[in-house]
Amino acid sequence: MRKLIFFELRKIMAKRLTWAMLLVAVLLTVLLHVSTYQNKFAFDGQRQETGKEAVALDQEIAAGYEGELTDEKVRQMLSELMPQSGPQGLNVIYIYQNAMQSAVAARFSDMEGNWNGLSVSDVFGQEKIKIGYVDGWLGAIQDMTKVFLCLSVVVIVMLTPVFGGEYGGVEQLILSGRYGRTKCAAAKAIAGLLAAFGTTAAIVILNVALAFVMYGKIGLDCSILFAPLSFTEGYIPFNITCATLLKYRILLAFTGIMGAAGITLILSALCRNQMTALPAALAVYVLPALLPFAETSSFFRILALSPLYQILFVALMSVRQFAGSLLYAIWALPIAILLMAAGGIISGKIFAGHQVSA
């Protein structure tokens, strides 16, 4: 059985299209992370930096205020970081100078750069907010989401020929063999899932490694709630750390792609050729995003657990918090296991049940 699995795995990974698309995913990873890094900007009133130097300056500024957020620290940041007025009456909140200034302005400043009268408890309730430089890791996690969305399509394309590519005569030879309807069918399904898991693991490692090289561990233990203005609208409203967010991002990358792999294997076995299986798998994958259900709808909680929403990440992560840092998104794990099991078992049975002509 092991030899059959390795044989099928080599068939999947030997295709030029597979390697070409994986190369695209790698290049996209590097380009997105490097572009985000090079476009960083920071100004402290005297120094104006971009790229690596901007990250260093932002981290230096944040180091002067890191720790628990208090009303006294808010007033200190407003006094030391805020520009006194915007050009031609522009709201100071939207003038970006550095990550810490943008974070405090988004929550505690009026349009002239003065304190808006809100206390820490007014904005965050009784939550204890640990602040620091989170802009780097939040940006990196956003880039990862784009990469994993691309990778999910790569995996779907990679797996559609697993069964669909055998129809048209080859399946007759396979199913006529001694183990054609048992071990061969199972080996194909297992190899497909292993290929999906392995490619996902490789891309995840590459993304996390690049982010660590660029930003180090700084900010991983800080709350995602005290972030620059660009992260305040439509982002995750729970007081979790960047490290926790990263763990969920990695988990949902695996669950979303493995769930999509299970669905693809079923459709690969069900459709009579890979050219039919590919659009069918893509259509089922993107369907949840096309359904007209608002995020406030109770049905959305079910819809949000689909593989696509697991990859898109933010909407699912925003649904609900149970206790501590445990979020509703954790339910993606059993859903992915169910889809993987269904994909492996059902696809094998469909392929094995194909009629062999006499």
- Confidence band, pLDDT 50/70/90 cuts, at residue 172: very low
Q: Residue 81 in 3-state DSSP?
A: helix
Query: Got the DSSP string for 297-309?
Result: STTHHHHTTSHHH
Residues 6+ apart with CB under 8 A from 324: none
Contact yes or no for 243/136 (Cβ under 8 A): no
| pLDDT digits 0-9 by tens, 119-149 | 999 999 988 999 999 999 999 999 999 999 9
| pLDDT at 113 > cutoff 90 | no
Query: Got the DSSP string for 84-98?
Result: S--GGG--GGG--S-
The pLDDT of residue 168 is: 53
Q: Residue 50 — left, alpha, or beta (φ > 0 → left; ψ -120 to 50 → alpha)?
A: beta
| pLDDT digits 0-9 by tens, 33-89 | 999 999 999 998 888 999 999 999 999 999 999 999 999 999 999 999 887 655 556
| pLDDT digits 0-9 by tens, 77-95 | 999 988 765 555 677 788 8
Helix (H) or strand (E) holding 131: strand 130-131
| pLDDT at 324 > cutoff 80 | no
Alpha-carbon Rg for the chain in angstroms: 24
The pLDDT of residue 294 is: 80
The pLDDT of residue 357 is: 45
What's the rounded mean pLDDT across residues 194-211? 96
Contact yes or no for 11/140 (Cβ under 8 A): no
The pLDDT of residue 176 is: 47
- Confidence band, pLDDT 50/70/90 cuts, at residue 107: very high
The pLDDT of residue 163 is: 78
| pLDDT digits 0-9 by tens, 213-227 | 999 999 999 999 999
The pLDDT of residue 166 is: 62
Domain boundaries, the chain: 2-36+135-352, 40-130
